[in-house]
Chain A
Amino acid sequence: MTETAIISTKDLNLYYGDHHALQDIDISFARNRVTALIGPSGCGKSTLIRCFNRMNDLVDNARVQGQILYDGEDIASSRTDVVEIRKRIGMVFQKPNPFPKSIYENVAYGPRVHGVRDKKTLDAIVEKSLKDAALWDEVKDRLHASALGLSGGQQQRLCIARTLAVEPEVILMDEPCSALDPIATAKIEDLVKDLKKRYTVIMVTHNMQQAARSSDYTGFMYLGKLIEFGETPQIFEAPSEQLTENYVTGRFG
């Protein structure tokens, strides 16, 4: 890859107890690009992206070996400031999970935790984040209404706005559209295309058409291994590995 990598792994291995969930993963994610990870359930896609913001720390018997370089710095080590990493590498989950608070408070929460107190600054962050998440026009008149009153698609964009509010560099998305209808999905996909101007997006998806539509690069994983990685059109039009071929043509998976 000729583009600059923002995150890369070297000989990354992860074990859940005896289960070898990630095996010798070498992968690079290009800055300001969307990279999709595809593969059948249990292949390690989510496990891989959860390594990047150290979510696997929360799993008791998970053990990580190898290097995860973020801007050249190894973030797999115990010296890493995990809070700082999670600020710079945000995450959006499968099901929208807004806090049971107002729309405003959902977005302002992160900046507050990181020490922003000034009302005007917070207002500006909330507005900008909601605009960036393509939600502002729909909610600007009811910022103080409960976030739980939003539709699923709006809630998911709110979660993206919440992620953007702390100005991350990388956004991890773990099946961000699997709980959404096609119209909300299309909005999120459009949003992803806009987001990459300023952020790097790494997206796990089961929806191959979504990966094909939204990403610049695609990695195919199978049984804990990265089988093939390449530019998205190549992966979907003419993959070089037979396993990838079989997966994207629906012969298994």
Chain B
Amino acid sequence: MGEKFHEELKELQREFCECGTFSTLMLKDAFEALKAGDTDLAADVNARKKILSARSDYFDERLLTLIALHQPMAQDLRTIICTLKMNTALYRIGRYGKDIAILVPDFAASGHLGRMLNLPYMADLVFSMIDDTLEAYRSGDISLISDFSGRDDRVDDLRYSVFREGITYMMEDPRNIGRCMDYVMIARYLERCGDHCCSMAEKIHYMVTGEKVDIS
């Protein structure tokens, strides 16, 4: 296990950060498309799912090869395991982007209800968690993820309030049911993305420090 291995691992991490940005952008673009009712952008996000899947497979394979050929130890091993786990989480986040994108046509004709039950605020919280996760992975700065427990609590609370508010609208007027159900689903997707960030944060913390922490 010499310099070549360490160079390869570093290069792979760099590529992986780019790929993380790709997944994140799927989620962010999907949400932009949702807000603006932009069906073209939504279709574009939906089309990216193939690339997302191919990239995820690519990293799985590269990482497995590194393990098989080099039997890495200590921080190298922790980095590879962290990257593998993050690969799955970021794939899921990209897929949630696609899930949101395919709901966009529902709103194209009808427009949104009020301020979308606070979903944009919830989305901003989740996006900042994803950005901080990727930056912490890139730089090893775990202070960026140290407050994830509290941030995730806020995201969970917002999901609950979207759910409650959605029910109110639905009871008020059954014509709201379609859109509100979509909002509730979207809140659920965003909340899951927040959970993925917490689990990635645990892995990053372990990668950097060697200590296991519980963030939930």
A positions within 8 Å CB-CB of B: 208-209, 212, 236-240, 244-245, 248-251
Residue of A nearest to B212 (CB): A238
Residues on the A chain within 8 Å of B78, using CB: 237-238
Residues on the A chain within 8 Å of B110, using CB: none
Kindly provide the distance from the CB of B93 to the nearest chain A CB, expressed in whole angstroms: 27
Kindly provide the distance from the CB of A235 to the nearest chain B CB, expressed in whole angstroms: 8
Taken together as a complex, chains A and B put the C-alpha atoms of A237 and B6 apart, in Å, by 17
Residues 69 to 101 of chain B near chain A (Cβ within 8 Å)? 70-78
CB contact between B77 and one of A236, A240, A244, A251 (< 8 Å): that residue: A236
Asked, given contacts A250-B2, A250-B5, A251-B6, whether A237 binds B74 with beta carbons under 8 Å apart, the answer is: yes
Question: With contacts defined as CB atoms under 8 Å apart, how many contacts are there between chain A and chain B in the complex?
Answer: 41
Residue of B nearest to A209 (CB): B71
What 8 A-B pairs are tightest by C-beta distance, nearest first?
A238-B210, A250-B1, A248-B73, A249-B76, A248-B74, A236-B73, A249-B74, A245-B74
Kindly provide the distance from the CB of B51 to the nearest chain A CB, expressed in whole angstroms: 33
B211 part of interface (Cβ distance < 8 Å)? yes
A238 touches B5 (CB 8 A): no
A208 touches B73 (CB 8 A): yes
Taken together as a complex, chains A and B put the C-alpha atoms of A61 and B159 apart, in Å, by 76
- Interface majority SS (helix, strand, loop, mixed), chain B: helix
Residues on the B chain within 8 Å of A249, using CB: 1, 6, 72-76
Residues on the B chain within 8 Å of A240, using CB: 210
Residues on the B chain within 8 Å of A237, using CB: 73-74, 77-78, 210
Kindly provide the distance from the CB of A242 to the nearest chain B CB, expressed in whole angstroms: 10
5 contacts between A and B (CB under 8 A): A237-B73, A248-B73, A249-B6, A249-B75, A250-B6
Residue of A nearest to B72 (CB): A249
Asked, given contacts A250-B2, A250-B5, A251-B6, whether A239 binds B71 with beta carbons under 8 Å apart, the answer is: no
CB contact between B211 and one of A238, A239, A244, A248 (< 8 Å): that residue: A238
Residues on the A chain within 8 Å of B209, using CB: 238
Taken together as a complex, chains A and B put the C-alpha atoms of A209 and B71 apart, in Å, by 8
Taken together as a complex, chains A and B put the C-alpha atoms of A240 and B73 apart, in Å, by 13
Taken together as a complex, chains A and B put the C-alpha atoms of A238 and B71 apart, in Å, by 15
Residues on the B chain within 8 Å of A244, using CB: 74
Residues on the B chain within 8 Å of A208, using CB: 71, 73
Residues on the A chain within 8 Å of B73, using CB: 208, 212, 236-237, 248-250
Taken together as a complex, chains A and B put the C-alpha atoms of A238 and B206 apart, in Å, by 9
Taken together as a complex, chains A and B put the C-alpha atoms of A206 and B35 apart, in Å, by 60
Kindly provide the distance from the CB of B77 to the nearest chain A CB, expressed in whole angstroms: 6
Residues on the B chain within 8 Å of A245, using CB: 74-75
Kindly provide the distance from the CB of A245 to the nearest chain B CB, expressed in whole angstroms: 5
Residues on the A chain within 8 Å of B74, using CB: 236-239, 244-245, 248-249
Taken together as a complex, chains A and B put the C-alpha atoms of A244 and B73 apart, in Å, by 10
Taken together as a complex, chains A and B put the C-alpha atoms of A212 and B210 apart, in Å, by 17
Residue of B nearest to A240 (CB): B210
Residues on the A chain within 8 Å of B77, using CB: 236-237
Kindly provide the distance from the CB of A197 to the nearest chain B CB, expressed in whole angstroms: 27
Taken together as a complex, chains A and B put the C-alpha atoms of A251 and B211 apart, in Å, by 22
Residue of A nearest to B81 (CB): A237
Residues on the A chain within 8 Å of B6, using CB: 249-251
Residue of A nearest to B211 (CB): A238
Beyond A236-B77, A250-B6, A251-B6, 12 additional pairs, beta carbon < 8 A: A208-B71, A236-B73, A237-B210, A238-B210, A239-B210, A240-B210, A245-B75, A248-B74, A249-B72, A250-B1, A250-B2, A250-B70
